[in-house]
């Protein structure tokens, strides 16, 4: 009698062991499949994070470079507005010297104003301000402001004929454009006729 019961227990144990082994195989296969997929997923994640890091590092380098350039420009051109305000003072001193010389003004006074102008020009030069040479030069729209355009037999076309107000440059930036008249070249015969009528 015990034998059939033992046999039944064996069968029951065999069925249980088969179920356990099939479950183990399924989970083992799933674990094995996920273990194969895991390095690919990790590699993709690594690539994504690495590219984000490289973009962020490049953006930071660009920001740092722009910030340093802005800082250099601020140091170099920080006093630009003050220097612009001093230019009319230089113009007026030059006009005063010219007027005093033509009207026979006091020589000592003219000499004093000339020395003051020389000192002021030296201070401006120390901070990087240079006068723009205009007379006889090619017309440059970035450095010259043309206020008139006319014929000239002595000055070739597109050259500066006369300078009305000096221009100045601060380092490599135009502080104030020179006000000039520009030559259109020798006058044509019909222009002479038109101006004489």
Per-residue pLDDT at 125: 92
CATH number (2.30.22.10, 1.10.600.10, 3.30.70.100, 1.10.510.10) of 128-197 reads: 2.30.22.10
How many Å apart are CA 155 and CA 148, to the nearest integer?
14
pLDDT tens digit sequence for 85-132: 999 999 999 998 988 888 887 888 888 889 999 999 999 999 899 998
Higher pLDDT pick, 141 / 5: 141
Per-residue pLDDT at 194: 46
How many Å apart are CA 66 and CA 61, to the nearest integer?
9
Q: What is the pTM of this model?
A: 0.60
Domain boundaries, the chain: 1-77, 79-127, 128-197
Residue 150 host element (H or E): strand 144-150
- Residue 33: pLDDT over 70: no
Tokens for 131, please give them.
Answer: 């006068």
How many Å apart are CA 166 and CA 178, to the nearest integer?
5
């Amino acid at each position: 009698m015990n034998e059939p019961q033992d046999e039944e227990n064996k069968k029951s144990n065999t069925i249980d062991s088969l179920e356990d082994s099939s479950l183990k195989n399924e989970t083992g296969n799933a674990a094995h499949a996920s273990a194969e997929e895991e390095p690919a997923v990790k590699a993709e994640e690594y690539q994504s994070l690495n590219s984000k890091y490289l973009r962020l590092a490049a953006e930071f380098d660009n920001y740092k470079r722009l910030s340093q350039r802005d800082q250099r420009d601020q140091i170099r051109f920080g006093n630009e507005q003050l220097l612009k305000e001093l230019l009319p003072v230089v113009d007026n001193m030059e006009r005063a010297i010219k007027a005093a010389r033509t009207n026979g003004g006091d020589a000592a006074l003219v000499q004093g104003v000339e020395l003051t102008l020389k000192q002021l020009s030296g201070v401006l030069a120390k901070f990087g301000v240079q006068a723009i040479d205009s007379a006889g030069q090619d017309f440059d729209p970035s450095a010259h402001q043309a206020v008139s355009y006319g014929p000239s037999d002595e000055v070739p076309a597109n050259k500066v004929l006369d300078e009305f107000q000096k221009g100045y440059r601060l380092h490599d930036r135009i502080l104030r454009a020179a006000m000039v008249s520009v030559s259109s070249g020798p006058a044509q015969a019909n222009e002479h006729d038109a101006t004489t009528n």
